[in-house]
Amino acid sequence: MRPFAYATPPDAREAVLAVAERPDASFLAGGTNIVDHLRLGVATPGLLVDVTALTSAEIEDLPDGGLRIGAAVRNSDLAADHRVRARYPVLAQALPSGASGQLRNMATTGGNPLQRTRCVYFQDVTTPCNKREPGSGCAAIGGATRNHAILGASEHCIATHPSDMAVALAALDAQVQVLGPDGDRTIPFTDLHTLPGSTPEHDTVLGHGDLITAIDVPALPLATRSRYRKVRDRASYAFALVSVAACLDVADGEVHDVRIALGGVAHKPWRAHRAEEALRGAPATDESYRAAAEAALTDALPQEGFDGGNAFKIPLLTGTLVSTLRELAGEETRT
């Protein structure tokens, strides 16, 4: 652990400039991830710029019926918001399934999606990690891979993104409001996170100094029938082995519209477009759901590992998706 400077600029613009001008500066919001990384030596910033008080802590209605969630809104407050609970059950369910009550009281809307991917080797500075030290190698490949990716991984990194909230936002077509050194811009949430490729040191498309100021969730009537299902090794306070965020509109026994995002399977919250395409117009049956899971997992590549690896995630994800969609469709019968 190294000493670092701590700054509290007067506004977001100043904060962005303060970070932008120092390559070793980082933003600090709830601190639920970076403080761990400071202690572990995974993050060694020279300057922490505290933005907790510099972005909105409000949830505002948007004209289209959507919501604008200020970056400083705490996860626990967002989960409890009656509009979120009514319009986006998938988000209201995803939030409390993450971390612990204490952490959710600290974690923010802007910070949660920016938590680093989770991997025991990334967190252990005595092992090689391309994300921590580009070019040093990936200790996870062939290691303990139970929690690792089956989709979109590379030979450089097989980590998974740990956020539950982000999986719901990926399903909801959320938009990210960003303030950068060159001004404002909007990024579709599904474009925020990147796959590791040959540059696993980057988790997102944000540049140095880019600050999330708010996340917009558009109106999505379909989302009133939505669900977040997280499967993990213990009943609470564990990262997802797999998770499913789904919104489903069934009419006359057919899938009219659907949104699906998957967690615990990739370096980013995984929007399952192929599964959605496979489902639209299909009968709302287990067979269709299973086919959708197959479509989503076409390119799945499990990891071997001394711990048994993670091939189980394929049947697990299939079962979880089928079960989630079946429950959403309100079907009672098993097939």
Partner 1 sequence: MTATLEPRAIGRDLARRDGAAKVRGTAVYADETPVADPLFCRIVQATVARGRVTEVDTADAAALDGVVTVLTSTDAERLASTDDAELAVLQGTEVGFRGQIVAAVLAETDEVAREAVDLVRVTYAAEEHDARLAADRDDLYTPESVNPTYPPDTHEGDMAAAMAEAPMTLEATYTTPMHHNNPMEPHATTALWDASGAGHLTLWDSTQGVHPVRQTVTQIFALEPEQVRVICPFVGGGFGSKGTPHANVIMAALAARAVPGRPVRFALTRQQMFSLAGYRTPTIQRMQLAAERDGRLRGIAIDVVEQTSRIKEFAEQTGVPTRNMYAASNRRTTHRLAALDVPVPSWMRAPGECPGMFGPEVAMDELAAALGIDPVELRIRNEPEVDPETGKPFSSRNLVACLREGAERFGWAGRDHRPGVRLEDGWWVGTGVAASVYPTMRMPKSTATVTYDAGRFVGRIGAADLGTGAWTVLPQITADALGVPVEDVDVLIGDTDHPEASVAGGSSGTTTWGSALVEAVREFRDKYGDHPHDGDAASGSVNPNAAEEDYAMSAFGAQFAEVRVHADTGEVRVPRLHGVFAAGRIVNPRLARSQFLGGMTMGLGMALHEQSLLDPRTGHVVNHDLAEYHVPANADVDDLQAHWIDEDDPYVNAMGSKGIGEIGIVGTAAAVANAAWHATGVRVRDLPVTLDRVLPAR
Which residues are at the interface with partner 1 (CB under 8 A)? 1-3, 41, 120-121, 123-124, 126-127, 139, 142-144, 231, 233-239, 241, 306-308, 312, 315-316, 319-320, 322-323, 334
- For the CB of residue 306, give the shortest distance to partner 1 in the complex, in Å: 6
Whichever of 120 and 187 has its CB closer to partner 1, that residue is: 120
What is the side-by-side order of every strand in the sheet holding 242-251? 226-231, 242-251, 254-263, 270-271
Distance CA 254, CA 246 (A): 16
- For the CB of residue 27, give the shortest distance to partner 1 in the complex, in Å: 22
Whichever of 241 and 250 has its CB closer to partner 1, that residue is: 241
Distance CA 233, CA 237 (A): 9
CB 232 within 8 A of CB 164: no
Of the candidates 290, 277, 281, the one whose C-alpha atom is nearest the C-alpha of residue 324 is: 290
- Alpha-carbon dihedral sign for residues 181, 200, 161, 277: positive
Whichever of 4 and 53 has its CB closer to partner 1, that residue is: 4
- For the CB of residue 166, give the shortest distance to partner 1 in the complex, in Å: 18
Whichever of 204 and 323 has its CB closer to partner 1, that residue is: 323
CA separation, residue 91 to residues 109, 129, 226 (Å): 12, 32, 9
- For the CB of residue 122, give the shortest distance to partner 1 in the complex, in Å: 11
Whichever of 119 and 192 has its CB closer to partner 1, that residue is: 119
Whichever of 184 and 332 has its CB closer to partner 1, that residue is: 332
Which residues is 49 bridged to in the sheet?
A: 7, 27
Q: Please report, in angstroms and rounded to a whole number, the separation of the first and last CA atoms in the chain.
A: 55
Is residue 91 classed exposed, middle or buried when 0-12, 13-18 and 19+ CB atoms within 10 A define those classes?
Answer: buried
- For the CB of residue 13, give the shortest distance to partner 1 in the complex, in Å: 32
- For the CB of residue 311, give the shortest distance to partner 1 in the complex, in Å: 8
